[in-house]
Structure 1
Amino acid sequence: MSTDHEPGVDVTVENGTLRVTINRPDRMNAVKAETLDAVADAFDKYTGDETIRVAIVGGAGGRAFCSGADIVGRDLSAPPSTDTLDAANRVATTVRDFPRPVIAAVNGAAAGVGVSLALACDLTVASESSYFLLAFTRIGLMPDGGATALVAASVGRARAMRMALLAERLPAAEALAAGLIADVYADDDFDARVDELAARLAGGPVDAYAATKHAINATTLTELDGALGREFDGQMQLLAGPDFREGVRAFEQKRKADFRNR
């Protein structure tokens, strides 16, 4: 087994399985630009490695897969940086283009860009106590990381609008029923079920999987690249706006944002 430790990300390779684990449990695996870049770096590093047969993306600690971008301590007086958006877009395209099946093992909260990361993977499975939350509008932002295409491609326009505009939690069972994810496993045997799924894929015809993945993505994610550009432009404007400043202040003060009197 080989192991790499990048900023907030653990990368291991064993028996043909690449595991990329966001390891910031004290922040519920909230990500910074360097965290997302480390995830993308791992996939780039092993893209041409013929010994890799399947990949798993997960979150450490059991409370969250990824709770979104880490906004605590953000300097609201500084001009918005493109770093996190660039990294989020890179992750979405890198995971999409990886030539092996990628499993998102969602054990806990998947929020914000965590939803984007989970849905960029090929098979998204969740523990029964997990949930999905496009929380962006709660802090005056719009979905990014490809979420506007990834969610709509899975559940359709009406459900995507509800998730994005109302920022409501979608429990794992409802996410499965809506077609957002591939399966739900019991909390107690979640890790074992993920390992079983990975072993099944690792023992399969990887070239056929690669061709299948490419063909389905080409058909269903035709708008992903365009969405990334639209999200980038819209988000950069929102990051410089008053709603975001009020949203961050409210988040840090643990209160509901007041967008009418910002």
Structure 2
Amino acid sequence: MEFNDILYAKKNGVAHITINREKVMNAFRPDTVEEMILAFRDADADPSIGAIVLAGAGERAFCTGGDQSSHDGKYAGRGVAGMPIEELQTLIRDCRVPVIARVQGYAIGGGNVLATMCDLTIASEKAVFGQVGPKVGSVDPGWGTAYLSRIVGEKKAREIWYFCRRYTAAEAQAMGLVNVVVPHDQLDATVDAWCAELLEKSPTAIAIAKRSFNADSDNIRGIGNAGLEALALFYQTPEAKEGANAFREKRKPDFRAARDRKA
């Protein structure tokens, strides 16, 4: 199985899926998401795998979301919004083994959502979390919003999305977004130790527990699918395009026209 945008390896019962687009801070494009989907499917189908580690290459970023430079910001792949991110999110939730996010740097936008979706998140003390959606004319309905509120509480989730602030690893741990924060040079050793501990447990019991946890929040799947349909329409509006253009041009967006139209 050959990939261009990710690295995929299996070792000692653990599957490692690494976004390998360091030059764009591991932002994903349609091809990246398609490759991650294939890797997750393969790992889930392998009975020898007891844990999956999702990571980003290099030192700077875990993932910074959708690559706005890809196709001039117009995603051309499949999926509701031109990128099958909802399929990837479903695989992270539905695969039988725990998925650990290894966050060594920035987990921003869609990257923050991916870390949120994982069963567990282990972060370096250098990690930074946050959202950018409303700054660039975007949002992640369903898992990225409703599920986030299950984890950090509604007040904090609304703050995260409304203000698009950055949060340190320690702040993320305090709000429940991260399981543990470790010194940067101990990140890999900690991830390996957690995986080894998981592999000592009953795989069937873990799989049942994961499905039981998921059952409590599976209604969010429907909310997210409906929201993504609306998002596909929103991306065609001048308001959304202004946000994306401002991001690429490295300037503040001007949403006054959108507010005036709704007045």
- The two structures have a TM-score, normalised by structure 2, of 0.91
Q: CA deviation at 1:237?
A: 2.2
Is 1:65 aligned to residue 62 of structure 2? yes
1:81/1:261 CA distance change after superposition, 3 Å: farther
Which residue of structure 2 aligns with residue 245 of structure 1? 241
Q: Which residue of 1 aligns with 2:204?
A: 207
Following superposition, the deviation at residue 230 of structure 1 comes to: 2.9
Question: 1:11-50 deviations in whole A, cap 9, x for unaligned?
Answer: 1011111000000000000001121121111111232321
Measure the CA separation in 1 of the matches of 2:128 and 2:252: 21
Aligned length: 257
CA RMSD of aligned residues (A): 2.0
Distance across 1 between alignment mates of 2:183 and 2:206: 27
For 1:99, the aligned partner's letter is R
The equivalent of 1:165 in structure 2 is 162
Question: Runs of 5+ in structure 2 lacking a partner?
Answer: 259-263
Supply the distance in 1 between the matched residues of 2:98 and 2:187 (Cα, whole angstroms): 19
**What is the match of residue 198 of structure 1?**
195
Deviation at 1:152, TM superposition (A): 1.1
Task: Please name the residue that 1:146 is paired with.
Answer: 143
Kept in 1, the 8 Å contact 2:30–2:75? The answer is no
Deviation per residue, 1:195-245 (Å, 9 max, x gap): 1111111222211111111111212x2333123213302311221111222
Among 218, 223, 226, the residue aligned to 1:227: 223
Secondary structure at 1:6 match in 2: coil
* Residue 145 of structure 1: how far off its partner (Å): 7.3
User: Is 1:104 paired with 2:101?
Assistant: yes
For 1:132 and 1:28, the matched residues in 2 are separated by 14
Secondary structure of the equivalent of 2:46? Answer: coil
Distance 1:205 1:95 in 2: 20
Distance change >3 Å, CA 73–CA 216, structure 1 → 2: closer
**Residue 47 and residue 31 in structure 1: after superposition, are their counterparts in 2 closer, same or farther (change >3 A)?**
same
Query: What runs of 5+ residues in structure 1 fail to find an aligned partner?
Result: none
TM-score, structure 1 as length reference = 0.91
Match of 1:70, SS? coil
2-side partners of 1:117 and 1:37: how far apart? 15
Render the CA deviation track for 1:68-107: whole Å, top value 9, x for unaligned.
Answer: 000115447x798754555110111001011011111111
- Counterpart contact for 1:11–1:21, Cα < 8 Å: yes
Question: Does the CA-based 8 Å contact 1:146-1:231 persist in structure 2?
Answer: no
SS class of match (1:21): strand
User: Paired residue for 2:176?
Assistant: 179
d(CA) in 2 for partners of 1:39, 1:207: 24
CA distance in 1, matches of 2:243, 2:108: 16
SS at structure 1 position matched to 2:126: coil
The alignment status of 1:7 with 2:26, answered yes or no, reads no
Distance 2:124 2:228 in 1: 31
Decide whether aligned partners of structure 1 residues 185 and 5 sit closer, same or farther in structure 2, where only a CA change above 3 A counts.
farther
Q: For residue 225 of structure 2, what is the amino acid of its counterpart?
A: G
2:256 is paired with a residue whose SS is coil
